[in-house]
Each structure stands twice: as structure tokens, then as C-alpha cells.
């Protein structure tokens, strides 16, 4: 049995700050550079961020080549959802650049644009974590209302992107 309050406390103590620090890095960059760094998954130290190691630098570079000409459209996105949709459309047929890479890229760029998710997107590890907690994972995302009803202690994480990160990284997968 999972002790969710303990896991939430542990996330807040150890991982929340690192996640915020990563997003702050992208917030500080000028937008053209934010796009390049976000798509190529490079952190403040210039190294590839963990989530995109499986994608590989050549696939990330291919995604950047497709997204760079769309910079003006990216800048005009009025929500995280529209940003994610644009990224998905442009990169949909790049092997290994799947849901997680699309989401992470949108989150990094969205941090710079002030467009963060309002729902918790489900993909890969996030979906596994949500399923382990008894959520219906048949949809693309969970609403904050669904989370409040089933596991209100997750609202201590405050932001959907923190809940996404928590479900992905802090819930042991069976």
C-alpha cells in the first residue's frame, strides 16, 4: 500500500525544487534560445535532461529543425494546450519523439511564455503512476477536479505540472 502523504512530502522536500529550477532556466532565456534548448532538452549545465535520453540528440535536432520555422506561431499560442498541439503536429512522425518529448518540450517553452498546463497530461510513467493510484487513465489527461475527488492530498503539489512530475517520478510502478 502506498503512503501517499509521505510520498507527497518527499517530493516537495526533494524533487519539487529541482523541477522548478529546471523551468526557471527556460524562463530566463530569450525565446529563440528557449526553443532551441527546450527541444534539444538541454538544462542549465548544457547537458541533456534525463527524460529525453532515449529520444537521442539526432531526433531532438530533427524536431528542432521542424519547430524553429514555427517560432512566430509558437509565440502566439494562447494556452499550453495550443502550444502542445502545435508541437505535436510538427513532430508527429519523428520516431521516438513521442508524447513525453512533446509534453516536456511544450512545458519548457510554456514556462518561458507563461503558458503552463491547467490539467495533468498522461503519458508513459505519468499514466502508470495515475493508474496505480486508481485514476481512470483512458483519457489524455486528468482534471484538477478529478484529482481533488480521488486524492486531494495531491493538491498540495499545487500545479498540474508538479502533479505530472510526481506521478511520473515518485509513484513506484508495478
pLDDT at 174: 66
pLDDT in tens, 89-121: 999 999 999 999 999 999 999 999 999 999 999
Residues 22-42 have a mean pLDDT of 96
Q: Which of 167, 153, 122 is nearest to 6 (CA)?
A: 153
Q: What pLDDT is recorded for position 2?
A: 87
DSSP state of 158: -
Domain end call among 95, 113, 131:
113
Q: Point out the domain boundary residue: 67, 93, 113.
A: 113
**Contact assessment for residue 35 and residue 67, using Cβ atoms and an 8 Å cutoff:** yes
- Position of cell 548544457? 46
Q: How confident is the model at residue 166 (pLDDT cuts 50, 70, 90)?
A: very high
Say yes or no: 54 and 11 in one domain. Answer: no
> What confidence tier does 63 reach under pLDDT thresholds 50, 70, 90?
very high
- 100 and 140 in one domain? no
The angle at the Cα of 170, spanning 174 to 58, to the nearest 5 degrees, equals: 90
Residues of the domain holding 99 = 26-113
Q: Using the predicted structure, report yes or no on whether residue 124 has a pLDDT greater than 90.
A: no
Pair 67, 100 in one domain = yes
**174 part of a folded domain:** no
Q: Are 116 and 160 in contact (CB under 8 A)?
A: yes
- Residue 147 near residue 166 (C-beta atoms within 8 A): no
Amino acid at each position: 500500500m502506498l503512503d501517499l502523504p509521505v510520498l507527497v512530502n518527499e517530493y516537495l522536500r526533494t524533487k519539487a525544487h529541482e523541477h522548478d529550477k529546471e523551468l526557471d532556466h527556460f524562463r530566463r532565456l530569450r525565446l529563440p534560445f528557449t526553443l532551441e534548448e527546450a527541444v534539444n532538452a538541454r538544462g542549465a549545465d548544457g547537458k541533456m535532461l534525463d527524460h529525453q535520453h532515449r529520444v537521442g540528440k539526432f531526433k531532438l535536432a530533427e524536431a528542432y529543425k521542424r519547430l524553429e520555422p514555427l517560432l512566430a506561431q509558437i509565440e502566439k499560442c494562447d494556452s499550453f494546450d495550443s502550444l502542445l498541439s502545435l508541437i505535436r503536429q510538427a513532430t508527429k512522425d519523428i520516431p521516438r519523439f513521442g508524447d513525453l518529448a512533446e509534453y516536456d518540450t511544450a512545458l519548457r517553452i510554456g514556462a518561458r511564455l507563461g503558458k503552463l498546463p491547467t490539467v495533468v497530461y498522461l503519458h508513459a510513467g505519468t499514466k502508470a503512476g495515475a493508474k496505480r493510484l486508481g485514476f481512470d487513465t483512458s483519457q489524455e489527461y486528468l482534471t484538477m477536479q478529478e484529482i481533488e475527488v480521488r486524492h486531494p492530498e495531491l493538491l498540495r503539489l499545487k500545479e498540474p505540472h508538479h502533479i505530472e512530475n510526481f506521478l511520473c517520478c515518485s509513484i513506484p510502478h508495478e
